[in-house]
Amino acid sequence: MAAVTATSNTTTTTARAVGAGSPTADLAPLQIERRALGASDVRIDIKFCGICHSDIHFARGEWGEIPYPAVPGHEIAGVVAAVGSDVTGFAVGDRVGVGCMVNSCRECENCQAGNEQYCIAGNTQTYGSVDRDGTFTYGGYSDHVVVDQDFVLRIPDEIPLEEAAPLLCAGITTYSPLRHWNAGPGKQVAVVGLGGLGHMAVKFAHALGAEVTVLSQSLRKQEDGLRLGADHYYATSDDATFTALAHRFDLIINTVSAVIDMGAMLSLVKTDGALVNVGAPSEPLPVPVFPLLMQRRTFAGSGIGSIRETQEMLEFCAEHGIAADIEVISADQVNEAWERVLASDVRYRFVIDNSTLTA
Ligand SMILES: [Zn+2]
Ligand SMILES: [Zn+2]
């Protein structure tokens, strides 16, 4: 049995991974170095990693130039393999997760207030950031990762690791705005788009007690939407939807990462209601101002959630029997999975079985 004692060492470790060698290359097996286990670090054997649309934008350089190779993945679920000498909250064998960030400045007003996701200096992203040791961060499409204990989440026993992985991005990204804008009993909540983010938003909004409507391009996934917890399901391709639902919603969560008609969406929001964007289109989104000022509507955005709130979300999932609907794939199926993500052909999240990494 592995000793549950503090470990520290000064050597880097080599990780098996899959990554992209250029903006246009397919993902392929490769090896990366992980930093030596620091005193406050946790080394995690990654068991599963979810595939997020952001992974694709990032690796293809669509959100700005990046150094290569690029190893994405910020929906990490695994087991603690080693802990540094100052680690108090985690022991070898614990079930843990890592989401979109692995550090922050810890000094700005947002970090001090426990909103490190909005660190004014910019949080250190799980992939695509410069880490505190000056190296570029690599994500969870790999067999292990070294992360500061303050950015490691505890995964409750009730949630299978593979179904927990997508909670670390898709889960918290939708849970946080639902909580911030008070989704709950007596509230009308709409979710635009029923994909990886949308299916989690429906589950959470329903569990929080709101009346939930899905607004999807077509009625193709209607049966699923109702099964996931929606009370109503409408097609945005049908103009009658916008007449029927005018001024209906206290809160709309827009999960679509493409340019859609914001004027039409805003017309569905009640006076003083909010339309909150969590999808991230590469192109600017045109927003007409009249529908905002005529009804004092809010047009907003929300990004992931704090570590404290992410832990709260995981506990909420355990309590309410919530997890992601997933399709587990092997590492050699990642390129195919990305094409299917781009075609919205997944119900509702691909998760890589990291034991299949071969590099
Ligand atoms: Zn993500
Ligand atoms: Zn900060």
User: Measured at the alpha carbon of residue 59, what is the angle toward residues 108 and 306, in degrees to the nearest 5?
Assistant: 30
Distance CA 61, CA 128 (A): 10
pLDDT category, 9, cuts 50, 70, 90? low
Which bound ligand lies closest to the C-alpha atom of 55?
1
Task: Specify which residues 34 forms β-bridges with.
Answer: 13
The CA 198 to ligand 1 mean position distance, Å, reads: 13
At residue 86, the pLDDT reads 97
C-beta separation of 205 from 188 below 8 A? no
The CA 172 to ligand 2 mean position distance, Å, reads: 19
- Cβ density class 242-268: b for 16+ within 10 Å, e for less: beebeebbbbbbbbbbeebebeebbbb
The CA 52 to ligand 1 mean position distance, Å, reads: 5
Own/partner contacts of 293-300, CB < 8 Å, gap of 24 or more, are 295/247, 295/269, 295/270, 295/271, 296/271, 296/272, 297/266, 297/269, 297/271, 297/272, 297/273, 298/272, 298/273, 298/274, 299/262, 299/266, 299/274, 299/275, 300/177, 300/274, 300/275, 300/276
**Does the pTM exceed 0.85?**
yes
Task: Specify which residues 327 forms β-bridges with.
Answer: 350
Distance CA 287, CA 77 (A): 37
Of 20-29, 167-176, 258-267, 278-287, the least confident: 278-287
Which bound ligand lies closest to the C-alpha atom of 99?
1
Distance CA 184, CA 355 (A): 40
Per-residue pLDDT reduced to its tens digit, 52-68: 999 999 999 988 899 99
Name all domains of the chain by residue range, CATH numbers in brackets. Answer: 13-169+305-356 (3.90.180.10), 173-301 (3.40.50.720)
The CA 123 to ligand 2 mean position distance, Å, reads: 7
C-beta separation of 212 from 206 below 8 A? yes
Which bound ligand lies closest to the C-alpha atom of 75?
1
The CA 109 to ligand 1 mean position distance, Å, reads: 25
Q: Is the pLDDT of residue 303 over 50?
A: yes
Distance CA 341, CA 16 (A): 24
The CA 27 to ligand 2 mean position distance, Å, reads: 33
The CA 339 to ligand 2 mean position distance, Å, reads: 36
Distance CA 332, CA 161 (A): 20
The CA 11 to ligand 1 mean position distance, Å, reads: 30
The contacts of residue 266 (CB under 8 Å, 6+ apart) are: 275, 287, 288, 291, 292, 297, 299
Per-residue pLDDT reduced to its tens digit, 176-223: 999 999 999 999 999 999 999 999 999 999 999 999 999 999 999 999
Q: Is the pLDDT of residue 280 over 60?
A: yes
The CA 74 to ligand 1 mean position distance, Å, reads: 6
Task: Specify which residues 251 forms β-bridges with.
Answer: 189, 274
The CA 54 to ligand 1 mean position distance, Å, reads: 5
C-beta separation of 303 from 174 below 8 A? no
Which bound ligand lies closest to the C-alpha atom of 112?
2
User: Can you state the angle between helices 170-180 and 307-320, rounded to 10 degrees?
Assistant: 100
What DSSP state is assigned to residue 165? G
Distance CA 49, CA 298 (A): 34
Give percent of the chain with pLDDT exceeding 70.
97
Q: Is the pLDDT of residue 8 over 60?
A: no
At residue 300, the pLDDT reads 98
User: Measured at the alpha carbon of residue 294, what is the angle toward residues 293 and 299, in degrees to the nearest 5?
Assistant: 45
